[in-house]
Amino acid sequence: MTRDWIPGESDPAVSAIARTDRLLVALDFDGTASELVAEPMSARAVPAVKRAIADLSALPQTTVAFISGRSLVHLREIAEHDDDSTVVLAGSHGAQYWYPGEGEADPDAADPERMLRDTLLDELAPLLADYPGIELESKTFGIGIHGRPARPEVERAAFAAVDEVFARRARHWRRRTGDRILEYSSRDEGKDTAISVLRERTGATGILFAGDDVTDEDALRVLGDDDLGVRVGEGETAAALRVESPQQIAELLEVIASERASRPQ
C-alpha cells in the first residue's frame, strides 16, 4: 500500500535505504527532477533537486542516475549534463546509457529501423501541422508526440491520427502513453530494463527510484524488498511512498543524504 511521505517525520523505510551498503538513487526527469513544462526541451531540474544530487553524489558508495524516456542527446541537454558529470544516464527507456569516466555505451550501435523512423517523421510532420499545439519529437529509437500545449480535444484527435499511421506502417513498434504524450519506439526496453542494468553495473544493495508517470511504473514494479519506490503526484502506483512535487523529492533526497552521511562506516 502506498503512503504519503511526511517531511520532518522519521520514516523507517527512508532510513533503511539511506543506510544500505551501496545505494543507487535513480530518478525520472520530467515531473520528478523537473516541473512539467509545455515546451519539452525547456525542462530543467529544480535547483533544490540539483543541490540534493550534488550532496548524494559526493558520498561514498552512492550513485545517482536519471532514467528517462528521452533520447540520450536530449536528456543530456535538459539535465545540463557535461562530460565531467558523476551522474549516470539511461535514455530511451533503458536502450541508451552514459557512464561517468566512460561516456556513452555503444554510441555507434546501428538501428535497423532508422530509415522507417525517418519515413514516418516525413509523413507525420505535415499531418500534425493541422493540430495546433501538437509537437512532434524525433527520438533515437522512435517518435514522440507531445500534447501538453494543445487543447485536450485536439490532443485526442492528433493521437488517434498518429495511431492510424502506425497501425498501417509500424504495427510492431512499442506504443507508450504518458502524461499528455504518445510515443512509439522500435526498441522494447522499458525502465525496468534500466533498473536491472544499473543494479548489476553498480552492485547496488538498495535502489531508490522515483517517477511520476505511467512508464515509471515499469521500474517501480521490479523493485525488491531492499529498495524504495517513490511516486511523485497522483495516480495508481506500485510505489511505497508518495510525494507531492519535485520540491518534495528534493527534501526527501536531502534527508537521505544527511542520514547516509552520518551512518557508521
pLDDT digits (tens, 9 = 90+) for 147-165: 998 999 999 999 999 999 9
Range 168-189 average pLDDT = 93
Q: What percentage of the chain reaches a pLDDT higher than 70?
A: 98
Strands 142-146 and 135-139: what pairing?
antiparallel
Residue 106: predicted pLDDT:
73
Could you give the strand order of the β-sheet that contains 23-27, starting from the edge strand earlier in sequence? Answer: 3-4, 241-243, 228-232, 206-211, 23-27, 62-67, 88-91, 96-99, 103-104
Residue 44: predicted pLDDT:
98
CB 90 within 8 A of CB 198: yes
**Which residue pairs, CB below 8 angstroms and at least 24 apart, start in 155-160?**
155/131, 155/180, 157/131, 158/128, 158/131, 158/134
pLDDT in tens, 105-128: 975 566 789 899 999 999 999 999
What residue type is 91 in one-letter code? Answer: G
Distance CA 129, CA 141 (A): 22
Residue 264: predicted pLDDT:
79
Beta bridge partners of 97: 90
Burial (0-12, 13-18, 19+ Cβ within 10 Å), 134 = buried
Residue 179: predicted pLDDT:
87
Residue 38: predicted pLDDT:
87
> Residue 203: pLDDT above 90?
yes
Q: Which residues contact 84 (CB under 8 A, 6 or more apart)?
A: none
Residue 109: predicted pLDDT:
60
